[in-house]
Amino acid sequence: MQVSSIVQADQKQFSALENGCGLVRWSNATLIRHSGPDALDLLHRLTTKELLSVTEGRSQRTVLTSARGRVVDAFLVAHVTKNQLLLISDSDNSGRTVSAIDYYTILEDAELTDLSSSHSRISIVGPEAPETVKTVLGLAVGAGQVGTAELDGTLVTAASDTSRGVGWIDVVSETDAVDVEGSRPTLYARFESVGAVAVSPDNFELYRIDNGIPGSDKEYGEHANPIESGLLDLIDFDKGCYVGQEVIARLDAYDKVKRNLKILESDGPLEAGATLQLLADSKPAGIITSASSLQTEDGVYLALGLVRKAFVASGTALESNGIAVRLR
Amino acid sequence: MTTMSTERAVPINTIQITEKAASKVKQFAADRGMDEFGLKVAVKGGGCSGLTYVLEIVDGPESDDKVIQYHGVDVYVPKKAFVFLAGTVLDFSDGLNGKGFEFTNPNAKSTCGCGTSFSV
């Protein structure tokens, strides 16, 4: 008989994310330089958020959807300097985003450079993220702001992302400066030295689920529209046309969205990709999109799921693979 | 978004504007006091279906524009945009149900409700 051991969330890491500052290292995030006088206007025309007001030194997350209204990618647009944007996305498929933007670049004076393999990203997450960034980089990065600093001759960009619902600043630099041990302290080590706590991928995943933060190719992606996948705040319904706008506006206006993103609780670990069913009569009720293998301090397991709207009322009893599931 | 099934109206190596559209372009140019003018027809990224038509009265072509003449109006089409517009007819409809300038583009697989954007 195989007995699976219970692994609990690391309280030091969790506490840092909730009350202090956690360091989240991305192994393969999408980082794209989009430069040229037409770059911002092009993204404004292609994506869900009003971007013309994102002036130099400002940042705004937005969603690129297909003509069918499905999510291609969600990325932070950091307006670093005049005509120089840095696009930061959680997706590990930078080629998909570069190809999609490039497809619509016809007469525009705008150039895309994929920095994903030459640069690295750390997310500074938690209420003390701004103070930590200020201590290490000497930059005051307020909500929706971008700053750059030079450390040992290397340019570092810090950009605030207000879309996550928690304190969040992305720091991007050349990979050598961020991660590679050498004669100088890495950027990662500099943040740790001032009290930021390194957060492991599984503990960050639990934190993300606990805060209902949608993940790339999990809650959102080509399988879902941005409304149902928890990206509603990244849609400006009065901004005018963008790719997929007609479909998304129709979904909203006629209340045609069939699923909602919900946080799920259970007494046993759930499985991403598994179906959700009504406990009473096994009717299909949705799908689990992310599941944490860690148990919380309260002894429950958390997951995210796209749940059919008919069954999203609090207290509805669901199950997945024989495990009872509660909607938070 | 509407799926299109458009029969080819003009040869694929050109684009055409109707007499009515040409007349309207001349009127707009006269209203602006322009003696020398042409109609720039192009495509840019954006719009519900991904690609948006661009119409602009300009005083001359750019160096890489393809120049076509119909009904006394010079039409300038950037070469990069021509691949999306080859075979297109530009018309003008007015009156109570009129839509203004209308594109019939054989390359468009679908178009949005207002007709200003399309996909290929």
- The CATH code of the domain that includes B82 is 2.60.300.12
Nearest Cα residue to A234 out of A26, A39, A73? A73
Looking at the domain assignment, is residue A110 inside a domain? yes
Nearest Cα residue to A160 out of A148, A145, A147? A145
Spatial distance between the Cα atoms of B64 and A113, rounded to a whole number of angstroms: 25
Q: In this complex, is the C-beta atom of A241 within 8 Å of any C-beta atom belonging to chain B? A: yes
Residue B55 amino acid letter: L
- At which residue do the structure tokens 């009904």 appear? B71
- DSSP per residue, A35-78: ESTTHHHHHHHHBSS--TT--TTBEEEEEEE-TTS-EEEEEEEE
Chain A residue with CA closest to B81: the answer is: A106
Mark out the alpha helices in A82-234 (DSSP H runs).
94-103, 129-137, 175-178, 187-193, 201-210
Q: Which domain holds residue A23?
A: 11-208
Asked if residue B29 has pLDDT above 60, the reply is yes
Q: How many domains does chain B have?
A: 1
| Nearest CA distance, A34 vs chain B (angstrom) | 15
Residues A194 and A263 in one domain: no
Structure tokens at B5: 């099934």
Whole-Å CA distances, A8 to A5, A113, A292, A326: 10, 41, 10, 20
Do residue A242 and residue B47 have CB atoms under 8 angstroms apart? yes
Looking at the domain assignment, is residue A201 inside a domain? yes
Chain B residue numbers with beta carbons less than 8 Å from the beta carbon of A244 are: 48
Q: What pLDDT is recorded for position B5?
A: 46
From the centroid of its chain, how far is CA A211?
Answer: 12
| Nearest CA distance, A221 vs chain B (angstrom) | 18
Q: Which domain holds residue B19?
A: 2-119
Q: Comparing A291 with A175, which gets the higher pLDDT?
A: A291
Task: Respond yes or no on whether ipTM tops 0.90.
Answer: no
Do residue B46 and residue A67 have CB atoms under 8 angstroms apart? no
Spatial distance between the Cα atoms of B66 and B38, rounded to a whole number of angstroms: 12
In which band, very low, low, confident or very high, does the pLDDT at A183 lie, cut at 50, 70 and 90?
low
- At which residue do the structure tokens 């999990």 appear? A218
| Nearest CA distance, B49 vs chain A (angstrom) | 5
Q: What is the mean pLDDT of residues A195-208?
A: 96
Q: What is the mean pLDDT of residues A107-134?
A: 96
Beta bridge partners of A195: none
pTM of the prediction? Answer: 0.89
Nearest Cα residue to A68 out of B112, B84, B44? B112
Q: What is the mean pLDDT of residues A198-223?
A: 97
Q: What pLDDT is recorded for position B110?
A: 78
Q: What is the mean pLDDT of residues B72-96?
A: 90
Q: Which of residues 309-328 of A touch B (CB under 8 A)?
A: none
Q: In this complex, is the C-beta atom of A98 within 8 Å of any C-beta atom belonging to chain B? A: no
Coil/strand/helix, residue A136: helix
Do residue B1 and residue A67 have CB atoms under 8 angstroms apart? yes
- Mean predicted lDDT score pLDDT of chain A: 93
Q: How many domains does chain A have?
A: 2
Looking at the domain assignment, is residue A77 inside a domain? yes
Question: For A35-67, how does the pLDDT look when each residue is reduced to its tens digit (9 = 90+)?
Answer: 999 999 999 999 999 999 999 999 999 999 998
Q: What pLDDT is recorded for position B46?
A: 87
